[in-house]
Amino acid sequence: MLDFFSQAALLSLLLLALAYVRLARAISYSGGVPRVGSPGVLGYIQTALKWTIHAEDVIKEGRQQFFGKPFVIPTLFNEMIAVNEDLQLPYTMDEHQLRNPYQARVLRTDVNRAIPSYIPEILDESVLAMNEAFKHSGQEASGVPVFDTMTFLIARISNRVILGKELCRNENFLNAIVRFAETTPLMAPFIQWSPLLLRPLVYFVLSNILGGKKQPLTYIVPYLKRRIKEGQIITEKSGLVSEYLIQNAPADESIEGIAVRLLNINFGSIHTSSIFITQTLFEIALLPAEDIESMRTEVKEALDSEGGWTKGALDKFHKIDSALREIGRYYGLMYFALPRYTMVDCDLGDGLYVPLGHRVAIDMTAIHFDPNIYPDPYRCDVFRFSKLREQNGDDSAKYGFATVDSSYLPFGAGRHACAGRFFAAMELKIMLAHILLEYDISYPPCVNQRPSNATFNGAIIPDTKARIIFKPRGHQDHQS
């Protein structure tokens, strides 16, 4: 097998070789929609590179230059006018994810119906995992690295009900599944930038350097085989997500195929939820003490009124729910929403059209920062939506974190909206409520402002080095 440096050199040569092919195709676009950036080959390259690390600036430039009309954004992969291609599923997971994505149906039906039964399991694992993760945080002035800590917590807590206690507490498995979740979105753009013929080779090289699906599958596949052989799936009826996936698998599905679908679910859970909870903690740590206490009071009152940790109690965590939704509005996950590929030539009117095979997306910031929809949009107000509930006397899910509409797009929209968002909302509410009840959170003494985000290829990533101190508050009365 090639060593690391040989693999890196090979990858560099491949990328250089494919650059001309990609660039020639990209610049040949002739749909009539104006392109942001300077004209010519050099202008295209400069703007594409700028998009990769400063996507927000490119979108703002296009919005100002073309006054709200459609415009083309050059990227290193292809033009995008403002999800297979985004994650390169045939390589990072497998092609069966596309032909019959029944895991999404399972999430929308069986898993969503099982959410009330998951609450005690998620709470139990949250308590155990956080006790271990924050054991020494209160005594250390530097605190813990928030993003990395939350990523491992999400992986462990989610897998309590995805694969069960055996794997969710297996440190080697957690390391493997977290590495998979973190490196998949990094590998996908390089695969995208490659010609179809070279994509398998590019994935092979990258997965050997960064880590791919192979390592976590060495834990999941034997686990599934053993459970099926022992008849546990049929007899125990534990309600695990993996159990529902097996029960709904078509007759021709292999155990390996089910395992890869569980990787898909893990990726969605770990990648998305770790970003949301990290960004939310960054904001909560800046709040005045009285605002944090108001969140605690609301949680305690909800638990008292509903007799403990139930779905009814979680539904009353309005301020936590509002904080999560505001994070989705203000920061989100990407600078664009609802990416689609044109299946035919699309006439936009005024002599403009989008040719077959081009990607179209919505400028999400233009919607999420529209003052006609969100007053004072450039202020991150974690209580924005809980205030709206109070003002309008509306206790419905209209202002909820997991509710999608035409003005709130971090989870997509319509029938393609994220199938796991209700599970994520349940898990994040429990985790944040437990943190608020059990810990005082603050930045280290030397930090006096919120950590900055990074961007990569249009994705928004919280500061992975930032730290927060979690200081235990002593025994509380709302653990069960």
Neighbours of 169 (CB within 10 A): 15
For residue 447, which phi and psi values (nearest 5 degrees)?
-100, 130
CA 70 to chain centre: 27
**212 three-class SS:** coil
Torsion of CA 83, 85, 88, 93, to 10 degrees: 20
Maximum mean pLDDT: which of 116-130, 171-185, 382-396, 465-479: 116-130
Q: Using N-to-C axis directions, what is the helix angle for 255-284 and 146-162, rounded to 10°?
A: 140
Q: Are 322 and 299 in contact (CB under 8 A)?
A: no
CA distance 343 to 321: 38
- How far apart are the C-alpha atoms of 63 and 91, rounded to whole Å? 35
Annotated binding residue 446: no
Question: Which is nearest to 354 in space by CA: 84, 78, 22?
Answer: 78
| pLDDT higher than threshold 80 for residue 319 | yes
- Of 70-74, 224-228, 256-260, 279-283, which has the strongest mean pLDDT? 279-283
Q: Are 217 and 259 in contact (CB under 8 A)?
A: yes
Q: What is the pLDDT of residue 21?
A: 47
The predicted structure's pLDDT at residue 139: 64
Decide if 116 contacts 422 (C-beta within 8 A): no
Determine phi and psi for 134, rounding to 5 degrees: -105, 15
pLDDT higher than 70, residue 87: no
CA nearest neighbour of 223 among 248, 204, 252, 245? 245
User: What does CATH list as the number for 77-333+370-472?
Assistant: 1.10.630.10
CA 405 – CA 414 distance, rounded (Å):
8
Q: What is the mean pLDDT of residues 354-361?
A: 77
Interatomic CA distance for residues 101 and 281, integer angstroms: 33
Structural contact between residues 320 and 434, judged by C-beta atoms closer than 8 angstroms: no
Residues 456, 453: Cα–Cα separation, whole Å: 10
Choose among 253, 230, 233: nearest CA to 242: 233
Could you tell me the two tokens for 181? 């979740």
Q: Are 441 and 281 in contact (CB under 8 A)?
A: yes
- In this structure, the strands spanning 80-81 and 359-363 are parallel
pLDDT digits (tens, 9 = 90+) for 387-440: 999 998 877 788 999 999 989 999 988 777 888 999 999 999 999 999 999 999
Q: What is the pLDDT of residue 2?
A: 43
- The more confident residue out of 56 and 16 is 56
Phi, psi (5° rounding) for residue 339? -65, 135
pLDDT of residue 201 exceeding 70, the answer is yes
The two tokens of residue 162 are: 């995805």
What is the predicted pLDDT for the residue at 138?
59
Question: Can you give the pTM of this predicted structure?
Answer: 0.85
Q: How many CB atoms lie within 10 A of CB 256?
A: 15
pLDDT score recorded for residue 198 = 77
Q: How far apart are CA 470 and CA 431, in angstroms?
A: 13
Nearest to 447 by CA among 472, 462, 466: 466
